[in-house]
Amino acid sequence: MDNIFDILIIGGGAAGCSAALTALNRGKSVGVITNPVETTALYKAEWVTNYPGFASVSGRELAENFFEQMEKAGAVIIKGRALSVMPFGDSFGVAVGNVFYQCRTLIVAAGITREKLYPGEAEFLGRGVSYCATCDGMLYRGKKVALLGNSAEAAEDAEFLRSIGCEVMEFRENVRYEIKGESKADTLVYKGEEYKLDCVFIIKDTVSVTHLVPGLEYENGGIVTNKDMSTAVPGVFAAGDCTGKPLQLGKAVGEGNIAALSACGYLDKVGK
Ligand SMILES: Cc1cc2nc3c(=O)[nH]c(=O)nc-3n(C[C@H](O)[C@H](O)[C@H](O)COP(=O)(O)OP(=O)(O)OC[C@H]3O[C@@H](n4cnc5c(N)ncnc54)[C@H](O)[C@@H]3O)c2cc1C
């Protein structure tokens, strides 16, 4: 295998696993960039009674089985959070921390995030708001930064930022922060108090799909797809909850399958 994946999948839930299995069956090289299985919607379902083949099964068991099956079938599992996708002509680069992975086609199967963006987050992303301490920390050496997040990853990132010389204010509560500024973010509002700073690092499990891939179209919060799960961006397909309602397991698995077949067809057409 060369160092470019035929297909990279963002999200290892039901849709992503289904897509990976089908693409592997078609002989494609497949990488799956994903948060841990515990973050999938299915893992949180107590009992599932509408999935054919299982009269009653816990969501956790099914999610773990999906994940294991995908791994054993040969998918390269890239543990981490995809931060951004960059089109490079006839391929794509996906940033995970400060590592870039390349692929010929991309399947977005990132589920939905129920977390709302903070006011100012989208506006200042890349201008004093960052999702990645490893990538952007060095730009703020000797400067004052805020770190929002209550995960173990957030705690590690705070330590890392301190170790490279940033002055770090940690905010661990799950409250509504606001980010303000002129040409770039310079103020964090927390419980009515204003904190002056140079950058706000926001460490969440997911990145809203609306910020992940440039050029996608959205309707009612879901990625707009055609019947073959292709999107407005050639070479990018989407499947599962991230394409909108119904948010159901059967739909996620079915769309994952269609997205993979369409991605394979796309690769065959362009001769890859
Ligand atoms: C409590 C609950 C009960 C349910 N019960 C049922 C039921 O009984 N029957 C039924 O049909 N459906 C049920 N559902 C719905 C069903 O589980 C979902 O529709 C389906 O599992 C969605 O799969 P998905 O792959 O699209 O998304 P997800 O399972 O959400 O998978 C997406 C994965 O991508 C990861 N991810 C997101 N962004 C990134 C990123 N930037 N980088 C890396 N990884 C990323 C996420 O962390 C997650 O691991 C239930 C859902 C819930 C929450």
DSSP annotation string for 135-146:
HHGGGGTTSEEE
The pTM of this model reads 0.86
CATH code at 244? 3.50.50.60
Residues 146 and 159 placed together within one structural domain of the fold: yes
**Quick one: 92 and 58 in the same domain?**
yes
In the chain, the number of structural domains is 2
For residues 24 and 105, membership in a common domain is answered with yes
Backbone angles phi, psi at 33, to 5 degrees: -90, 120
Cβ neighbours for 27, distance < 8 A, ≥ 6 positions apart: none
What's the 113 CA to ligand 1 centre distance in angstroms?
9
Distance of alpha carbon 67 from alpha carbon 136, whole angstroms: 31
Do residues 197 and 261 share a domain? no
The residues, ordered by sequence, that sit 6+ positions from 192 with a Cβ below 8 Å of its Cβ are: none
Report CA(40)–ligand 1 centroid distance (Å). 4
Q: Are strands 193-196 and 199-202 parallel, antiparallel or unpaired?
A: unpaired
Residue 77 and residue 128 in one domain: no
Q: Could you tell me the residue range of the domain that residue 10 belongs to?
A: 4-114+207-269
Higher pLDDT pick, 254 / 176:
254
Same-domain check for residues 147 and 15:
no
Q: Select from 144, 177, 202 the last residue of a domain.
A: 202
pLDDT at residue 147 in the model: 97
Query: What would the pLDDT profile of 69-82 be if each residue is shown by its tens digit?
Result: 999 999 999 999 99
Question: Within this chain, do residues 195 and 213 fall inside the same structural domain, yes or no?
Answer: no
Pocket test for ligand 1, best of 96, 210, 247 (most atoms within 8 A of CB): 247
Same domain for 217 and 87: yes
Last residue of a domain, one of 156, 186, 202: 202
Q: Which of these three, 202, 221, 238, is where a domain ends?
A: 202
Q: Which of 9, 21, 40 to mutate to test the pocket of ligand 1 (most atoms within 8 A of CB)?
A: 40
Do 183 and 127 meet the contact criterion of CB atoms below 8 Å apart?
A: yes
- Convert the pLDDT of each residue in 117-176 to its tens digit: 899 998 998 899 998 888 789 999 999 999 999 888 899 999 999 999 999 999 998 888
